Structure 1
């Protein structure tokens, strides 16, 4: 039932208020294979945080834009893109950078954020944010994201074991 509702929303363009309120960014081809960077920008741009530097400038510049593609094109021209490329190609990086022309890598990052008491998936390769339903105010976002991964991804492909989660969290 939930899956059917999500498909109807995506096809019809009728997004929930929570999905509409998320700042969504398209991972445009010229940004390259940087889904991890896009996921981090999604998470931080939609968090209730006081941020500075290139990310603050990006958020201010793109807040009024109506499409994820516009935001993606601005991101390509931003300092965030060059910082992403630099950190990914640094000698301390743990993963070999794929060629920017590689179309299938077999792995992908997306982001889960809490918007208007709903858990929303942000994926730069999807046309829009995906609202996975309400969460209680005292709910742990990591637990809710793990639930979505378990129920909507792992149960669909139970033989796949290459799911992992990473959390961006405040300390202290």
Structure 2
């Protein structure tokens, strides 16, 4: 029964995390391959892009603290879930966050990664391993740019703390 609960929790978390970068405007062009002549972002570019910023999702947020590369997030109103862990960058151009996610039904560990490439002033992103490439940040900035949801500051920890207190009995 515990395995079923854990599997059910993991599926809920994966579904919630699916909203992370995929609620962008439907008009946004998606590609199976990155643009020709694009190159991966460097580790420094990724740290500048995400460090001390919150990624505001449709139903939650994740904060990428530079201090000790802490990652804190929450998703879902009501029962919802929260995650705590670390974020890291790898070459070429990949950002990942590994977190333990907690919900009423239990906890589950999850690793989520995104690849990034640039061409000119545009940055393209895809969720690994099976996502599609799309324009993440364009210049001039487009109204559907996912990058607009990366806001300076911590917009996740307050709700994270409330959910953690709510689920403090989850082991």
Q: Which has the higher strand share?
A: 2
Q: Which has the higher helix share?
A: 1
TM-score, normalised with respect to structure 1: 0.28
